[in-house]
Amino acid sequence: MPNMQKEKHPMPTRSPEERRSTFGEVALGYDEETAVSEAERCLNCRNPLCVKGCPVMIRIPDFIRKVSLRDFEGAYAIIHESSSLPAVCGRVCPQESQCEKTCVRGLKGESVAIGRLERFVADRHNAASSGQIEERTRISNGHKVAVVGSGPSGLTCAGDLNRLGYDVTIFEALHVAGGVLVYGIPEFRLPKEIVRKETDELIRNGVEIKTNTVIGKTMTVDELMEDGYEAVFIGSGAGLPRFMSIPGENLKGVYSANEYLTRVNLMKAYLPESDTPIRRAKRVAVVGGGNVAMDAARSALRMGAEEVSIVYRRGEAELPARKEEVEHAREEGIVFRLLTNPKEILGDEHGEVRAISCVEMELGEPDASGRRRPVEKKDSLFTLDVDTVIMAIGTSPNPLIKSTTEGLVTEKWGGIVADEDGRTSRPGVFAGGDAVTGAATVILAMGAGKKAAAAIDAYIKEKNAK
Amino acid sequence: MAYKILKREELNSQVIRMDIESPPVARKAQAGQFIILRVDEFGERIPLTVADTDPERGSVTIIFQTVGKTTMKLAGKREGETIEDFVGPLGRPTETEGLKKVAVVGGGVGCAIAYPVAKKLSSLGCTVHSIVGFRSRDLVILEKEFRAVSDRFVLTSDDGTAGEKGLVTDALKRLIEAGEAYDEVIAIGPLIMMKFVARLTKEYGIKTVVSMNPIMIDGTGMCGGCRLSVGGETKFACVDGPDFDGHLVDFDEAMARNAAYKETEAREREEYCRLLGK
């Protein structure tokens, strides 16, 4: 008999008071009994809509059934068929707009907590095996593929190709693998140890990861192909920060969210032993309303800020961040200054930020994106005293590869042009993730990496059949 | 990853030259480009301009002054030891095409970056006048190397203990006034020196390129920490530079931004010195 409880089992979390001063993970995860009881809420639909909502098509009811039978390794094996990063996705996927959105249990109550169960299964596996997975006997097919970037799309593409027998090398510009999972998403949402376990597992399975290698600089895509890589997958992300082009943006104390988060996450500026400096901000304004803005605001709080505000030009309903992230931010005491748009950042005589001047906005007619367009309220200019401003208004694809790869067609805004399966204008060159779509989610990037892996396999097979 | 220090040499009491083993960077790097390194696991990422390369040996030469904790840690490494990370070459190479006569102006440790540019220009058959300035005799570096690639060489020092007493701008002005017609002036050194070189050459309408060295983390365009105002536009030194038109750079803003972590840096340096018992 299924468990007909209407609500999901709540996720145990650290108290907001405790959270304010620690980078320790906020969500603590289900225990075994809660997971099994939650799994029993799944009706095991014959035509499971949840699977269609998953960009990598995990066999969701099948793994949940294994959980209800307490066969946790069996559940892990099912997830792992489709996803190389279960512990990551269980944490950062927007399940509410994907698998859980279409769950039939959501019609009368709440959907099954698919994401929380995925996380439980992955964490349980990682703890039980202490990262050791049984050795797969992989037989190399002798074909080499290069993957540029070790973020979600690159790791997924590499994992799938490795399973198909390809010799895969990932080239990463930074000194650790993981891309946005290590430089962008904070420790309190995604512990870096988890990312490391996932990348270690790829390495153990035969994927080579070359850090400190910037494709477009250290080597070009063409040089990779001359080196015998039969196909190249570009998953270089959307790492170029945007600014607003308002006066005062180059004052000391104005960060891009990328810079702030990189200092905290990648460079570990929150640890005393780290040599990387960061401002000890007291009053912070974070401009933007997406997940990155929430991450930056909540990081600033944990770095000791007394007041952190989100400054966003639209309203509550338009906040692009996940609801859960907004809730967590509110609980921790982040101030939401909605319908507010910055006009200028003001500095003192030393060139340090002292305030941000803003106008109030109201919502007008819907724009091209379907969201109501914010318009300025007359005579509403006011200043907010802050010592630090973090710009979290989006990122664009990095131009390093575009500018060094002849014949690679890109969009005006910088995205690489690729079809559904990741094929670009250059034969043998595939692309996916944020480098193609612009900033999006981890799971969409993984979906793109997966499709590209299948297309690369088909491409190399066809090429060699001739 | 670990990168071996193949050679370590003290050029003066504050400036050290190291050859680091990195065949891919050695193969690719050109004058004007930089690398980013990290000394150890908790080290910060710092950019340093490539001073020379030996593609056959697979080595890249860096020259740095010990100014903060990271450069002190680096200076403490011996030959045969390794550093944690080394990535490059980053940024755009200095443009040298079509230049017939150039004044290369270097200041202090900036000469380490000016030298490969002078060397490259000389190898392309360009007439090179090098004007290099230091505070005093004991800080002079690369004099012999500069002489070897320069058609004219002027050494200046603030206190007159080496070469002529005065600033590089005095010497440059004298040469221009004497009728030397330069296609371009390339100035590399402290921001304040580059600012005044650019101010001088603007009067004479001589194109001037400066090499900027702002605070950076990734060096690939990701953090935006290295942004500068150039001709009213925001540019990223790591991907758009590090070379820029000296007449368009907002030096005052760049100087303010470079001092962003001055207090933290001073404190860390002091703590580190105490740790070493210095």
Do B122 and B76 fall within a single domain?
Answer: no
User: Which segments of chain A have a pLDDT < 50?
Assistant: 131
Q: Is B168 contained in some domain?
A: yes
Span B28-57, pLDDT tens digits:
999 999 999 999 999 999 999 999 999 999
The verdict on a CB contact (< 8 Å) between B90 and A214 is: yes
B4, B222, B252: which to substitute to probe chain A, counting the most A Cβ within 10 Å? B222
The verdict on a CB contact (< 8 Å) between B44 and A276 is: yes
Rounded Cα distance, B187 and B198, in Å: 8
Determine the pLDDT at residue A132.
53
Residue of A239, A267, A268 with shortest CB distance to B221: A239
Which amino acid does the sequence have at A240? L
User: A174: which chain B residues are within 8 Å (Cβ-Cβ)?
Assistant: 218
Q: Is B230 contained in some domain?
A: no
88-127 in B: which are within 8 Å (CB) of A? Answer: 88-90
Q: How deeply is B26 buried, as exposed, middle or buried, from its count of CB atoms within 10 A (0-12, 13-18, 19+)?
A: buried
Do B48 and B111 fall within a single domain?
Answer: no
B247: Cβ–Cβ under 8 A, 6 or more apart, which residues?
B198, B201, B202, B207, B208
Do B148 and B105 fall within a single domain?
Answer: yes
Query: Does B230 contact A at CB distance below 8 Å?
Result: no
A150, A180, A210, A217: which to substitute to probe chain B, counting the most B Cβ within 10 Å? A217
Rounded Cα distance, B184 and B209, in Å: 7
The CA distance from A240 to the nearest CA of chain B, in Å, is: 5
* Residue A252 near residue A351, CB atoms below 8 Å: yes
B30, B216, B223: which to substitute to probe chain A, counting the most A Cβ within 10 Å? B223
A150, A171, A175: which to substitute to probe chain B, counting the most B Cβ within 10 Å? A175
Place of tokens 């935006």: B224
Closest residue, chain A, to B87 (C-alpha): A212
Do B85 and B100 fall within a single domain?
Answer: no
The CA distance from B88 to the nearest CA of chain A, in Å, is: 6
143-162 in B: which are within 8 Å (CB) of A? Answer: none
Query: Does A402 contact B at CB distance below 8 Å?
Result: no
User: Which segments of chain B have a pLDDT < 50?
Assistant: none
Last residue of a domain, one of B194, B211, B228: B211
Q: Is B264 contained in some domain?
A: no
Q: Is B260 contained in some domain?
A: no
Do B69 and B121 fall within a single domain?
Answer: no
Please give the torsion angle defined by the CA atoms of residues A435, A437, A441 and A445, in that order, rounded to the nearest 10 degrees.
-60
**Number of structural domains chain B divides into:** 2
In CATH, what number is assigned to the domain containing residue B140?
3.40.50.80
Question: Within 10 A of A31 (CB to CB), how many other CB atoms are there?
Answer: 12
230-249 in A: which are within 8 Å (CB) of B? Answer: 239-241, 243, 245, 249
Residue of A175, A274, A398 with shortest CB distance to B221: A398
B82: Cβ–Cβ under 8 A, 6 or more apart, which residues?
B2, B3, B4, B5
Q: How deeply is A67 buried, as exposed, middle or buried, from its count of CB atoms within 10 A (0-12, 13-18, 19+)?
A: buried
Which residue range forms the structural domain that includes residue B86? 3-90
Query: Does A255 contact B at CB distance below 8 Å?
Result: yes
Which residues make beta-bridge pairs with A347?
A: A353
Q: Is B267 contained in some domain?
A: no
The sign one gets for the Cα dihedral A269, A275, A281, A282 is positive
Residue of A217, A251, A258 with shortest CB distance to B88: A217
Rounded Cα distance, B255 and A412, in Å: 34
Do B110 and B197 fall within a single domain?
Answer: yes
Last residue of a domain, one of B160, B185, B211: B211
The CA distance from A34 to the nearest CA of chain B, in Å, is: 39
User: A398: which chain B residues are within 8 Å (Cβ-Cβ)?
Assistant: 220-222
Determine the pLDDT at residue B277.
65
- Strand B34-38 to strand B85-90: parallel, antiparallel, or no bridges (unpaired)? antiparallel
Do B164 and B56 fall within a single domain?
Answer: no
Which residues make beta-bridge pairs with A376?
A: A361
| pTM given for the model | 0.92
User: B227: which chain A residues are within 8 Å (Cβ-Cβ)?
Assistant: 243, 250
Q: Tell me what ipTM this predicted complex has.
A: 0.91
Phi, psi for residue A374 in degrees, rounded to 5: -80, 135
Do B111 and B186 fall within a single domain?
Answer: yes
Query: Does B221 contact A at CB distance below 8 Å?
Result: yes
Closest residue, chain B, to A261 (C-alpha): B223
User: A388: which chain B residues are within 8 Å (Cβ-Cβ)?
Assistant: none
In CATH, what number is assigned to the domain containing residue B84?
2.40.30.10
Structure tokens at A235: 């998953």
* Residue B247 near residue A425, CB atoms below 8 Å: no
3-state secondary structure of A260: helix
Rounded Cα distance, A336 and A328, in Å: 12
- What Cα–Cα distance (Å) separates residue A159 from each residue in A90, A145, A150? 18, 12, 11
Last residue of a domain, one of B90, B108, B123: B90
User: A214: which chain B residues are within 8 Å (Cβ-Cβ)?
Assistant: 87-88, 90, 220
Do B203 and B148 fall within a single domain?
Answer: yes
Span B205-255, pLDDT tens digits:
999 999 998 889 999 999 999 999 999 999 999 999 999 999 999 999 999
Closest residue, chain A, to B229 (C-alpha): A250
Residue of A212, A251, A267 with shortest CB distance to B87: A212
Q: Is B225 contained in some domain?
A: no
CB pairs under 8 A between A and B: 117
**Helix (H) or strand (E) run with residue A114 in it:** helix A114-129
Cis peptide bond upstream of B242, omega within 30: yes
3-state secondary structure of A36: helix
User: A180: which chain B residues are within 8 Å (Cβ-Cβ)?
Assistant: none
Do B115 and B167 fall within a single domain?
Answer: yes
Residue of B89, B223, B257 with shortest CB distance to A262: B223
Residue of B24, B43, B223 with shortest CB distance to A219: B24
Q: Is B203 contained in some domain?
A: yes
**Helix (H) or strand (E) run with residue A162 in it:** helix A152-163
User: B217: which chain A residues are within 8 Å (Cβ-Cβ)?
Assistant: 259, 262-263, 266-267, 276
Which residues make beta-bridge pairs with B184?
A: B102
Q: Is B271 contained in some domain?
A: no
Measured at the alpha carbon of residue A415, what is the angle toward residues A223 and A368, in degrees to the nearest 5?
Answer: 175
Determine the pLDDT at residue A365.
86
Residue of B25, B84, B227 with shortest CB distance to A218: B25
Residue of A211, A241, A273 with shortest CB distance to B1: A211
Do B111 and B75 fall within a single domain?
Answer: no
Rounded Cα distance, A219 and B174, in Å: 44
Query: Does B270 contact A at CB distance below 8 Å?
Result: no
Q: DSSP of B178-224, one letter per residue?
A: TT---SEEEEES-HHHHHHHHHHHHHHT--EEEE-----SSSSSSS-
Do B100 and B168 fall within a single domain?
Answer: yes
The verdict on a CB contact (< 8 Å) between B87 and A249 is: no
Query: Does A274 contact B at CB distance below 8 Å?
Result: yes
